[in-house]
Structure 1
Amino acid sequence: MTPRLSARAEKAARPSPTGFDRRLIPPMLVGSVLNPINSSMIAVALVPIGVAFGAPPAETAWLVSALYLATAVGQPVIGRLVDMYGPRRLYLAGTALVGVAGLLGALAPSLGALIAARVLLGFGTSAAYPAAMRLTRSEAERTGQDSPAGVLAALAVANQTVAVVGPALGGLLIGFGGWRAVFVVNVPLSAACLVLGALRLPRSGTIRRRGVDLPGMALFALLLVALMLFLMDPRAERWYLPVLSAAAAAIFALRELRVPDPFIDLRVLGGNGPQLATYLRQLLAYTTSYAFMYGYTQWLEQGRGLSASTAGLVLLPQSAAALVVSALSGRREAVRGKLLIGSVLQVAGCALMLLVRAGSPLWLLLTAGAVLGIPQGLLGLATQNALYRQADPERIASAAGLLRTFGYLGALAASAATAACYPHRADTPGLHALALFMLACSALLLATTLPDRSLGRLTSAATTTPGKA
């Protein structure tokens, strides 16, 4: 086994500024927005795609689910490869795959081919975020100046901004070039990433020569896909899916505890309670956030009787609050404070939803969105910063990928809860049932945060004892 190139050797091999190398920021930002832009633009393309292929909404919904499935599996798997072989190789390979998927989508002759293109997009967009986290950690090691809050905040703000403007951008592209334009746009984005990555990302030097745990990755993919397929359509007759997921999880755990270089080191992760708690908080926070996005939007259109464009305007305070809070608080880590304030405001926002009726004044509808937008800006930053401090530095990319996987699981849990609360239409009783579900998730988030004093010690000094809180 050839040892990984040490931080001192990396520094000697790649002379650069004494502070964080800002040449890395453009490829990091452009690459990391590939996933949210493809997640959000598709929302306005589902109807014209269904018309083009004569497909009902139940079939076009796979265009959304396929991306979630691919990214949920791809993020930690590709993140592990980033940890092993360096960010540059995986970043370039992933962003190149995005361009190929864009071309396939633009030329797709059928809905099945289009879904396959979305799967490729999911895997391609899974490389940039773990690569960015690996680069951030490497720069801290190289410079000895561990102050990544501004860089991590820039990543969060860029992702949130693109997620907000994605539907509007998708609408403009469809207006100019039809629904295939939302796939074509990936080609210039991919080209920009390839040029920036080739010019600015550092070469990794000596490669870590060790085996890739392919059986472990396959078992992890099986347990996750089976679980997510069940969450997308939870019915009694699909009982075999959670059983299959549980069986795969058991075999996966037995294997990972025995192999010398596992895909996910359960011995280290199992002893890192704070990191496991961060994954749980990510799941709870994103479940509430996505439940509001899916459920409240549908209720505004069906329960309140607003048009789709007006409902989008009602949600603007939520988006604006999230962006402003992320921008203003991003440079201060304050993990525990952000988690506490965010979880309390989530509880308050869910309680406000219980007061909403079909005849409620517009100010109440806007206020509910704004109140729930603030924690959306705080909690994502908090979990990202917490993970950066808690994870094993040698596995930071795979840990970051797994963090996003828990966010996607939250999205699917929210989708399942929304479907359960709206069996026929998005009416007010269904909204209140969904609000109670969200309230329970928010209360659990607060309960896992309030007694955890270790969160207050997550500062730059924590890197001297990685993985401990």
Structure 2
Amino acid sequence: MTAINGRNVPVSEELQVPFRVSGALATGSVLQPLNSSMIAVAIVGIAAQFGSTSGISWVISAMYITTAVGAPTAGRFGALFGARRVFVGGLVLVAVGSVAGMLAPGVGWLIGAYVVLGIGISTHMPNAMTMIRSYAERYERQPRTALTTLVVCGQSVAALGPTIGGVLVGTFGWQSILWVNLPVVLLSAVAVMRADVGFAGGRATSVRAALHTLDGLGILLFLVTITSMMMVLVSLRDAPSWGLLPVAIVGLGLFVGWEWRTAEPFLDIHALVRNRALSGTLGRALITFTCFYCVFFGIPQWLQYVRGMSAIEAGLTMLPVAGVSVISTIVGSRLYRKAGARWTLLVGTLALLIGGVLIASVERSTAPILVLLLVGAVLGIPNGFNNIGNQSLVNAVTSVEEVGTAIGMYRTMTFIGANLSVVVLQVTAGDEIDDGGLHRMGWFIAATAVLLFVGIVFSRSIGPNAEARIDNAGS
């Protein structure tokens, strides 16, 4: 029994955040996974139009570097200006970036458009979480079902992205992955403005006061560090740019030192040191999403370059990943409630290991299409279990005041992982992925999954004390 408004309510009848709230917020939160996954099948077409395969990788990297910076900043801005205002402002930026990208005359213009798009899509998940937790506290509801709704929608769209993108690109050209954002933006704006999202305001007295709290130097050092490190890693396959390595190392040292001392850090190093459950979860998310995006960027390119598939055929071949990912997210949510985070993450990581071995061992150039579909189905399992386990832990170990920034940091790990996946693909497979490159990518995923599995088994930050807090969050 749970006490709500002075009366005892059976656990099965606990009041949850209603779908009219979580569903409205999910309409905008799906823009990030939608754009992240659709571009996987558009890369070949973009490269064909602009005549540059190496430059195209920076279209992806620019979006993810921007979102890596924007996510925690957006969480802080939501607390200052109001989560709903920042959420809707992000929708406007998505529309602007999409229109600019559709009209791009060259790769440089397209990279700039994806920077604007990246800023926009980074605002939604952190502020959606803030609004859900605010609603839950205001009306004494449980946020568990709402969190599952966001994760299921995000995972579903991410998994369906290659299929949706393949149909759009094959029918209307690569620009269609941008114009499809516009009706989603309009729908989300209407839904969020009409929904009761608890407390929609903020505590900032002025824009100047809010900007004064922005850690500009920390953001600059973060950009220098991650960009220079990416350039070093991408260059390892051909002519290593060792001269940038000292820049990355010094930048990282200065970044950590500055974030440790400053009063309003871009990334709260103190919180990460103090909250081991949070820092451990963010680390796992970084590693997991690196593997996740290797699959979502690598396999569609291989299907087009080696198997000679069209964008539509490649997208449809990825469809089992989508279907299984949705089911595994729902099953993973139930497993989390019954057995906790450790078992949820172990199941997801074991499936990741099996998927990596399958990628590395199946003779894909001559394999029947049914075999490829079965491999895709296996790869859908870790997406759901790992994401619901890690995001539920972030929600469980943070307060309502912290959750927006914490989810922003989680999204930052997602985007850094996406950047690292581009590097992994460049190093293991090059610009055009062949059989050998995909083999090496599979073994990388398998080896990474082994390390994750061992870490989860022996982690002290995943346990009943951490997991129990989710039952009290928002009540």
Per the TM superposition, whether the score is higher than 0.5 is yes
Residue 381 of structure 1 deviates from its aligned partner by 0.9
Match of 2:151 in 1: 156
Residue 123 of structure 1 deviates from its aligned partner by 0.3
Whether 1:251 aligns to 2:254 is yes
Match of 1:13 in 2: none
Residue 175 of structure 1 deviates from its aligned partner by 6.5
Residue 180 of structure 1 deviates from its aligned partner by 3.8
- Asked whether the equivalents of residues 150 and 331 of structure 1 are also in contact (C-alpha less than 8 Å), the reply is no
Matches within 5 A, 1:98-113: 98-113=94-109
Deviation string 1:36-69 (CA, Å, 9 cap, x unpaired) is 22223334444554555x4322333433222122
2:225 to 223, 226, 230: 223
- Asked whether the equivalents of residues 29 and 155 of structure 1 are also in contact (C-alpha less than 8 Å), the reply is yes
The 3-state SS of whatever aligns with 1:207 is coil
Q: Distance in 2 between matches of 1:294 and 1:159?
A: 17
- The AA in structure 2 aligned to 1:73 is V
Q: Distance in 2 between matches of 1:50 and 1:299?
A: 15
Q: Distance in 1 between matches of 2:373 and 2:244?
A: 40
Matches within 5 A, 1:321-336: 321-333=324-336, 334-336=340-342
Q: Distance in 2 between matches of 1:294 and 1:192?
A: 28
Of the structure 1 ranges 349-358 and 420-429, higher mean CA displacement relative to structure 2 is found in 420-429
Structure 1 residues 170 and 361 mapped into 2: Cα distance closer, same or farther (>3 Å)? closer
2:134 to 135, 138, 141: 138
Of the structure 1 ranges 113-122 and 256-265, higher mean CA displacement relative to structure 2 is found in 256-265
Q: Distance in 1 between matches of 2:107 and 2:300?
A: 26
Match of 1:74 in 2: 70
Whether 1:459 aligns to 2:463 is no
The 3-state SS of whatever aligns with 2:463 is helix
Q: Distance in 2 between matches of 1:366 and 1:50?
A: 27
Match of 1:288 in 2: 291
- Asked whether the equivalents of residues 42 and 165 of structure 2 are also in contact (C-alpha less than 8 Å), the reply is yes
Structure 1 residues 115 and 351 mapped into 2: Cα distance closer, same or farther (>3 Å)? closer
- The AA in structure 1 aligned to 2:90 is G
Residue 464 of structure 1 deviates from its aligned partner by 6.0
- Asked whether the equivalents of residues 259 and 267 of structure 2 are also in contact (C-alpha less than 8 Å), the reply is yes
Structure 1 residues 99 and 429 mapped into 2: Cα distance closer, same or farther (>3 Å)? closer
Match of 1:318 in 2: 321
The 3-state SS of whatever aligns with 2:458 is coil
2:216 to 209, 214, 217: 214
Count of residues in Structure 1 that have an aligned counterpart in Structure 2: 448
Residue 398 of structure 1 deviates from its aligned partner by 2.0
TM-score (norm 2): 0.83
Residue 452 of structure 1 deviates from its aligned partner by 2.5
Residue 157 of structure 1 deviates from its aligned partner by 1.9
Q: Distance in 2 between matches of 1:27 and 1:87?
A: 14
Residue 432 of structure 1 deviates from its aligned partner by 3.3
Match of 2:181 in 1: 186
Whether 1:29 aligns to 2:26 is yes
Structure 1 residues 233 and 93 mapped into 2: Cα distance closer, same or farther (>3 Å)? farther
Match of 1:404 in 2: 411
- Asked whether the equivalents of residues 32 and 125 of structure 1 are also in contact (C-alpha less than 8 Å), the reply is yes
1:343 to 328, 349, 374: 349
Of the structure 1 ranges 37-46 and 270-279, higher mean CA displacement relative to structure 2 is found in 37-46
Residue 129 of structure 1 deviates from its aligned partner by 0.6
Matches within 5 A, 1:333-412: 333=336, 334-357=340-363, 358-360=365-367, 362-412=369-419
Whether 1:126 aligns to 2:133 is no
Q: Distance in 2 between matches of 1:426 and 1:381?
A: 30
Residue 451 of structure 1 deviates from its aligned partner by 1.6
The 3-state SS of whatever aligns with 2:361 is coil
Match of 1:269 in 2: 272
Matches within 5 A, 1:15-26: 19-26=16-23
- The AA in structure 1 aligned to 2:125 is Y
The 3-state SS of whatever aligns with 1:66 is helix
Q: Provide the alpha-carbon RMSD of the alignment.
A: 3.1
Match of 2:35 in 1: 38
Residue 443 of structure 1 deviates from its aligned partner by 0.8
- The AA in structure 2 aligned to 1:253 is V
Deviation string 1:278-302 (CA, Å, 9 cap, x unpaired) is 1111122122222233444455555
- Asked whether the equivalents of residues 396 and 469 of structure 2 are also in contact (C-alpha less than 8 Å), the reply is no
Q: Distance in 1 between matches of 2:133 and 2:334?
A: 16
- Percent same amino acid among aligned pairs? 33
- Asked whether the equivalents of residues 94 and 125 of structure 1 are also in contact (C-alpha less than 8 Å), the reply is yes
Deviation string 1:173-224 (CA, Å, 9 cap, x unpaired) is 5577654443333333323333233332455445156641332233233323
- Asked whether the equivalents of residues 69 and 228 of structure 1 are also in contact (C-alpha less than 8 Å), the reply is no
Of the structure 1 ranges 31-40 and 20-29, higher mean CA displacement relative to structure 2 is found in 20-29
- Asked whether the equivalents of residues 399 and 473 of structure 2 are also in contact (C-alpha less than 8 Å), the reply is no
Of the structure 1 ranges 274-283 and 149-158, higher mean CA displacement relative to structure 2 is found in 149-158
Of the structure 1 ranges 120-129 and 351-360, higher mean CA displacement relative to structure 2 is found in 351-360
- Asked whether the equivalents of residues 129 and 403 of structure 2 are also in contact (C-alpha less than 8 Å), the reply is yes
- The AA in structure 2 aligned to 1:439 is A
Match of 2:51 in 1: 55
Whether 1:416 aligns to 2:423 is yes
The 3-state SS of whatever aligns with 1:264 is coil
- Asked whether the equivalents of residues 99 and 191 of structure 1 are also in contact (C-alpha less than 8 Å), the reply is no
The 3-state SS of whatever aligns with 1:455 is coil
Match of 1:3 in 2: none
Query: Unaligned stretches of 5+ in structure 2?
Result: 1-13
The 3-state SS of whatever aligns with 1:260 is coil
Structure 1 residues 243 and 85 mapped into 2: Cα distance closer, same or farther (>3 Å)? farther
- Asked whether the equivalents of residues 81 and 203 of structure 2 are also in contact (C-alpha less than 8 Å), the reply is yes
- Asked whether the equivalents of residues 321 and 376 of structure 2 are also in contact (C-alpha less than 8 Å), the reply is yes
